[in-house]
Structure 1
Amino acid sequence: MDAFVMCFCTAWEQFLKAILIERDGEECIFRKTSKRGLKETVSLRECLDKVYPEKSNVRKNIEQIAYLRDQAVHLLMPEIQGIMSRVFQSGVLNYTSKFEEFTEVSFLNSSHAGMISLVGEFKSPPAAIMKSTYGDIASEIIELASSVQQDVEASDDIEFAIPLNVKLVFATDAEDGSTIAIARADEGIEGLKKALVIEKPVDRAKSHPLLQKDAINEINVRLQGRYDETKLKKHLSGTCRKTGMPAINRNCFDAILFKNKWKQSNNRYHYKNQYPEIRYYSNDLIEEFIKKVMENESYLKVAKDSYNKRKVN
């Protein structure tokens, strides 16, 4: 538990700073230079103030674990793993979802579960046993466990702590849409060990049917079918050699994929065949590409400037 709270807080602090840098620029994470000339970055709690509202349960979860790191790490004894593991697991799930939302890439390889163990024993041992084991500090340990238990019950939200009525499962969907549970967290670690993670082969021809030239052509067809020439000229920088109409070209396409990191892995937009090495693209990419380019007049220009500058360097 000591190691978890330290690594957890460090991971969130670095991640929140990345969000702030992307949003407000690199200087926003630095405090004013001290008298000794040292540049210090803001703390985890200062990052939370800038990213999440005070009532956010994601923020509340991080603050609870940060409190353990700063004030109560000496109280993290095995007897309170039951309640703490519920808070920790929610923190892992929150981090995973926010990471993927921000980076648009998978947090872990699809063959990993991305879970820690939920401890099955949720009751603390009797006070007499705790006092005989830990002496005077026992009352503080019990008070901490009780306080966290009250917060969990009051919150009753999976973003703060796993409620007992929520089942973490390795599951698949039946043909009728119902869930088939393969293993449940309440079966203990042995139940999770029995779970099989089966990677279903992707039918690339259905999910990602387009080569690059086909994707570019389809984007231009849809753009010209939905928007007039005046609007397209404001958002697009190139023209079609045959028609003279505003259009995207290969450089535009590569720049947008680079900006969004879609080619870094196989995902809903991009699929890389290994042998032979061929890249394919989905219809989802077409729509997402158009959405991003047409929401902001400077989006494509900024993406191309960044991409082309990188190529020159």
Structure 2
Amino acid sequence: MNSTYDMLVKKSIEAFLLGLEIYNKPTIRYRVEGFSFFICNSWELMLKAKLINDKGENSIYFKDNPSRTVSLEYSIKEIFTNKHDPLRLNLEKIVELRNVSTHFITEDYEVIYAPLFQSCVFNYIEKMSMFHNIDVTEYITQSFLSLVIKEDDLDPAIIRSKYSKETADKILTTKKAIEKIELENNPAFSIDIQHNFYITKKINDADSTVRIAKDGEIPVKIIKEQKDPNKTHPYTQKNCVKEINKILSREKIDFEHFSVFTKEIRSNFNTADFQLFLKFYSLKAQERYSYRHVIGEHSQYTYSRAIIDFILTEIKKNPQKTIEHLKKKTKK
């Protein structure tokens, strides 16, 4: 294999991991800027490696200046030719942030860009697998792929009180432009990041535990806060099925099982399988996974990222028997 190609792919993964490490390290205040630098660098190296693979090494150099390689912006347009592609829009917005970061940025940009960062992470993993047949999750555990963010909202009045008119206008204009694209509700552009805590007496159901004490040193109070379901539950059923199939393929999980309908062996996860999980685990009744939108006499469900992770976890326990097991249990 071309040595330049190998070097680009290797350094791309290193830049990606550095970006995650910087962003998820709580002591670093420069993490938005640092992440934008490294995630853009990782994409640029990966896309240049694809250009070499598709068109030869000369394709990454300017014809009128062979000593200079093409930019990330050029690579994005060459490979993602649809200018309305949510993945391309996501990258272009993060490139804009990187360019702003070289001059000036505020901590409030994190609230705006964090959902885009999360999508960018998942998009990178998918394209690295598709373009270069490399599973990035072999380099880092799945749990570290969820970014730790500052959860807050941008109150225009507070923003204008904190910054000059020019800076406040820039922040609020950026927020408005990104929200306009987010209305299309495509996970390839943005994914809201949630860290949810639930009170339960069943210790085996908990990921972490706390002790409630009357005279505890740290005061704690329970807050009920309404969340925007378009951000907390952005996936349609079709989106969920597509994402699950992408991850099964990327992680080379042998999901082959017998279909009683076609009388054939199939290896894709379909909507019937998704509905089976919903029914068996009563996932529609759990707000963590599902949200019911009521419009007049009609209702429609959307889903969170957590439901995708849950279904994949269950499939991985026994890939070839999971569906058959659920069907048998459901019939009883």
TM-score for the superposition, normalised by structure 1:
0.50
Is the alpha carbon distance of 1:198 and 1:39 closer, same or farther for their aligned partners in structure 2, counting shifts above 3 Å?
same
2:234: which partner in 1? 166
Deviations 1:218-271 (A, max 9, x none): xxxxxxxxxxxxxxxxxxxxxxxxxxxxxxxxxxxxxxxxxxxxxxxxxxxxxx
2:159: which partner in 1? 130
Comparing 176-185 and 110-119, the one that deviates more: 176-185
1:18-57 to 2 correspondence within 5 Å? Answer: 18-32=49-63, 34=65, 39-53=67-81, 54-57=83-86
**Does residue 1:11 correspond to 2:42, yes or no?**
yes
Which of 143, 147, 157 in structure 1 is aligned with 2:177? 147
Q: How much has 1:126 moved relative to structure 2?
A: 3.5
Structure 2 counterpart of 1:124, one-letter code:
L
Deviations 1:118-141 (A, max 9, x none): 5543x31242x2233222322221
Structure 2 counterpart of 1:150, one-letter code:
K
Percentage of matched positions with identical amino acids: 24
Q: How much has 1:176 moved relative to structure 2?
A: 4.8
1:237: which partner in 2? none
**RMSD, aligned α-carbons:** 3.8
Q: Contact 1:89 / 1:118 at 8 angstroms: preserved in 2? A: no
Q: Contact 1:131 / 1:138 at 8 angstroms: preserved in 2? A: yes
Aligned positions, number:
189
Deviations 1:129-184 (A, max 9, x none): 2233222322221221122112222x321111125132799x9x999533867995
TM-score for the superposition, normalised by structure 2:
0.48
1:130 partner SS: helix
Structure 1, unaligned stretches of length 5 or more? Answer: 208-313
Q: Contact 1:33 / 1:39 at 8 angstroms: preserved in 2? A: no
**Does residue 1:101 correspond to 2:130, yes or no?**
yes
Q: How much has 1:202 moved relative to structure 2?
A: 7.9
Structure 2, unaligned stretches of length 5 or more? Answer: 1-31, 192-229, 245-272, 291-305, 322-332
1:67 partner SS: helix
Q: How much has 1:73 moved relative to structure 2?
A: 5.9
2:147 partner SS: coil
1:1-313 to 2 correspondence within 5 Å? Answer: 1-32=32-63, 34=65, 39-53=67-81, 54-71=83-100, 76-109=105-138, 111-113=141-143, 114-117=145-148, 119-121=150-152, 123-127=153-157, 129-136=158-165, 137-153=167-183, 155-162=184-191, 163-164=230-231, 165-166=233-234, 176-178=276-278
Q: Larger radius of gyration, structure 1 or 2?
A: 1
1:308: which partner in 2? none
Q: How much has 1:26 moved relative to structure 2?
A: 0.5
Structure 1 counterpart of 2:146, one-letter code:
M
Structure 1 counterpart of 2:57, one-letter code:
E
Q: How much has 1:5 moved relative to structure 2?
A: 1.0
1:157 partner SS: coil
2:234 partner SS: coil
Hey, what's the Cα distance between the residues in 1 that align with 2:161 and 2:76? 40
Hey, what's the Cα distance between the residues in 1 that align with 2:104 and 2:186? 24
Q: Contact 2:47 / 2:76 at 8 angstroms: preserved in 1? A: yes
Hey, what's the Cα distance between the residues in 1 that align with 2:148 and 2:119? 12
Is the alpha carbon distance of 1:140 and 1:200 closer, same or farther for their aligned partners in structure 2, counting shifts above 3 Å?
closer
Is the alpha carbon distance of 1:16 and 1:185 closer, same or farther for their aligned partners in structure 2, counting shifts above 3 Å?
farther
Q: Contact 1:21 / 1:27 at 8 angstroms: preserved in 2? A: yes
Q: How much has 1:29 moved relative to structure 2?
A: 0.3
Q: How much has 1:200 moved relative to structure 2?
A: 6.3
Comparing 64-73 and 40-49, the one that deviates more: 64-73
Hey, what's the Cα distance between the residues in 2 that align with 1:146 and 1:177? 37
Hey, what's the Cα distance between the residues in 2 that align with 1:148 and 1:174? 31
Is the alpha carbon distance of 1:117 and 1:33 closer, same or farther for their aligned partners in structure 2, counting shifts above 3 Å?
same
Deviations 1:1-34 (A, max 9, x none): 1111111111110000011100111011001354
Deviations 1:259-285 (A, max 9, x none): xxxxxxxxxxxxxxxxxxxxxxxxxxx
Is the alpha carbon distance of 1:62 and 1:185 closer, same or farther for their aligned partners in structure 2, counting shifts above 3 Å?
farther
Deviations 1:76-126 (A, max 9, x none): 4333433311111111111111111222231123733322135543x3124
Q: Contact 1:13 / 1:43 at 8 angstroms: preserved in 2? A: yes
1:40 partner SS: strand
Is the alpha carbon distance of 1:142 and 1:26 closer, same or farther for their aligned partners in structure 2, counting shifts above 3 Å?
same
2:154 partner SS: coil
